[in-house]
Chain A
Amino acid sequence: MSPSMTHTADDATLATTGLAPDGDGQILLLACGALAREILDIKARNGWDHLDLTCLPAILHVHPERITDAVRDAVAKHKDQYAKIYVVYADCGTGGLLQAACAELGVEMVQGPHCYAFFDGVQAFEDRGEVTSFFLTDFLVRQFDSFVWKPLGLDRHPELLSMYFGNYEALVYLAQTHDPALVEMARAHAERMGLRFEHRQTGYGDLETTLEGWAAP
């Protein structure tokens, strides 16, 4: 466990409640709860004490239509306490609405369609064109039941599996950390979904380079 993780809420809290800011630093990162561990780790390793972090509930991942308003509200809530706010979301299924809202609010956001793309590298992700792959990150591997299986009703109606995933071929685990237990967990998810399994070590990808740019003086 990295030192930063002692400040991180547990996954269940990040999923449903998010993370409050510490109140320190001039720059606020407003992020998805699914990225909290990764951002705090990058921040701690680089000694970016001037960056503060707050997270919206990660479960918005399954309700993308609610993300834009939630980001708007959070920017309004925190804008007077920080010199600058950055939004650590990609488009995340908002269909361009988050991008438009950020432009209107005068805040930058992460480029790319979603976190899978920026962990993998947005360009590399696009170039691969893996249209028949289903992606999981570290967070989503750990929270698979709460973020995939249960919201799709597969715990109650497993017969729906082919309707959801019948056109998929592979589950690709984009790993941020080296954790054999998570790899095995992801492999089990793939098996449950009847998909071929692939493990791809991405590290933090474009997330880290984006934060580097934002943290620079």
Chain B
Amino acid sequence: MSDEEDDIILSELNDEELVQQMFDDLYDGLKEEIEEAVNILLERKWEPYRILTEALVGGMTIVGADFRDGILFVPEVLLAANAMKGGMFILKPLLAETGAPRMGKMVIGTVKGDIHDIGKNLVSMMMEGAGFEVVDLGINNAVDAYIDAIKAEEADILGMSALLTTTMPYMKVVIDTMVEMGIRDDYVVLVGGAPLNEEFGKAIGADSYCRDAAVAVETAKEYMARKHNQLAAG
């Protein structure tokens, strides 16, 4: 970042300039600046949900697009996510108080034998940013953990993540168990992780393979819209 940009005083920017600056700061992974800007917008009486969607999710969407296009790489995305997390930490309690819209509920976790959670954590955060309630089961989840959680939480969506070729087949174990129990069609099953692909997602009986967090959010929204339309029609 140049010296000129270092001199920017966030509180002196108007709303539009400040949101643009937040996009830049998210892109550069500047957590403290994002936290400061979120507080400034709150002081200016912005609704927490508006800050979340217009400034934070808006900025992360740019990061996600540049990641997909090979302009940004994993370290930069992680720094951006960390900055967004700082903003989310401030907003989260306020979102609950102000009755932000709820898109649906997702249970998410990394599969048994796998301890990798970077992708899963990104998806969790972006899903929360998009208005989903997320129950994160963490890493190394056996089939029972998933099944118990989707039932107890009355989830709409089950998300499973794996980074290893050796652990990704476990997703099929979970889906097959859901089929055996007769509950497969009660949930939307989304899968993701570096070694996965579209064909794998289809082969194991998932509803969709999501190549990154932004795709996961869009896919989840589509399924929820479809579900609402079906309910309305029924």
Binding site for B on A (CB under 8 A): 64-65, 91, 93-97, 113-114, 126, 129, 131-132, 152-154, 156-157, 160, 163-164, 167-168
Q: A93-B194, A156-B75 are in contact. List 5 more A-B contacts (CB 8 A).
A: A91-B195, A113-B164, A132-B115, A152-B75, A157-B75
For A160, the chain B residues whose CB sits under 8 A away are 75, 78-79
Whether B197 sits at the interface, judged by CB under 8 Å, is yes
Interchain CB contact (< 8 A) of A157 among B79, B140, B165, B194:
B79
Verify A152–B195 contact, CB threshold 8 A: no
Bound-state CA distance A65–B197 (Å) is 10
User: Could you tell me if B195 and A95 are in contact, using CB atoms closer than 8 angstroms?
Assistant: yes
Would you call the interface of chain A mostly helix, strand, loop, or mixed? loop
Mostly, the B contact residues are: loop
Beta-carbon contacts under 8 Å, B110-129 to A: 113-118
Task: Verify if B149 is at the interface (C-beta below 8 Å from A).
Answer: no
Q: Which of A64, A65, A163 has a CB less than 8 Å from the CB of B78?
A: A163
Closest 9 CB pairs of A and B: A153-B75, A95-B195, A167-B115, A91-B165, A113-B166, A113-B165, A93-B195, A131-B113, A160-B78
Contact of A153 among B74, B140, B165 (CB under 8 A): B74
The distance from the CB of B185 to the nearest CB of chain A, in whole angstroms, is 26
State which residues 136-158 of B face A: CB under 8 Å: 139-140
**Once the chains are docked, how many angstroms separate the CA of A65 from the CA of B200?**
14
Contacts of A132 in B (CB 8 A): 115
B interface residues with partner A (beta carbon < 8 Å): 73-76, 78-79, 82, 113-118, 139-140, 164-166, 168, 194-197, 200
Contact check, A163 vs B73: say whether CB atoms are below 8 A apart. no
B118, A95: Cβ atoms closer than 8 Å:
no
- The one of A94, A167, A168 that contacts B165, using a Cβ cutoff of 8 Å: A94
Select from chain A the residue with minimum beta-carbon distance to B76: A153
- Nearest chain A residue, comparing its CB with the CB of B162: A95
Judge whether B165 and A93 touch: CB under 8 Å: yes
**A54 to B194 CA separation, bound complex (whole angstroms):** 27
Partner among A91, A113, A114, A153 whose Cβ is within 8 Å of the Cβ of B73: A153
B165 touches A152 (CB 8 A): no
Closest to A99 in B: B165
B122 to chain A, nearest CB (A): 10
Who on chain B is nearest to A163 by CB? B78
Alpha-carbon distance A152/B118, docked complex (angstroms): 12
Bound together, the chains give a CA A64 to CA B194 distance in angstroms of: 9
Q: A113-B165, A160-B78, A167-B117 are in contact. Are A97 and B197 (CB under 8 A)?
A: yes
CB neighbours (8 Å) of B140 from chain A are 131
The contact sample of 16 A-B pairs, CB cut-off 8 A, is: A64-B194, A65-B194, A91-B195, A93-B195, A94-B165, A95-B168, A96-B165, A97-B197, A126-B166, A153-B75, A153-B78, A157-B75, A160-B75, A160-B78, A163-B78, A163-B82
Closest A residue by C-beta to B117: A167
A155 → B minimal CB distance (Å) = 10
| A95, A153, A164: the one within 8 Å of B196 (CB) | A95
A95 in contact with B79 (CB, 8 Å) = no
B69 to chain A, nearest CB (A): 14
Tell me the minimal C-beta distance from B3 to chain A in angstroms: 20
With most chain A CB atoms within 10 A of its CB, the pick from B76, B115, B196, B200 is B115
* Residues in chain B near residue A95, CB distance under 8 A: 165, 168, 194-197, 200
The residues of B that contact A129 with a CB separation of less than 8 Å are 113
Contact at B118–A131, with CB atoms within 8 Å? Answer: no
The interface residues of chain A lying within 8 Å CB-to-CB of B79 are 157, 160
Contacts of B114 in A (CB 8 A): 131
Give every chain A residue within 8 A of B166 (Cβ-Cβ). Answer: 113, 126
Q: Contact at B115–A168, with CB atoms within 8 Å? A: yes
Residue of A nearest to B168 (CB): A95
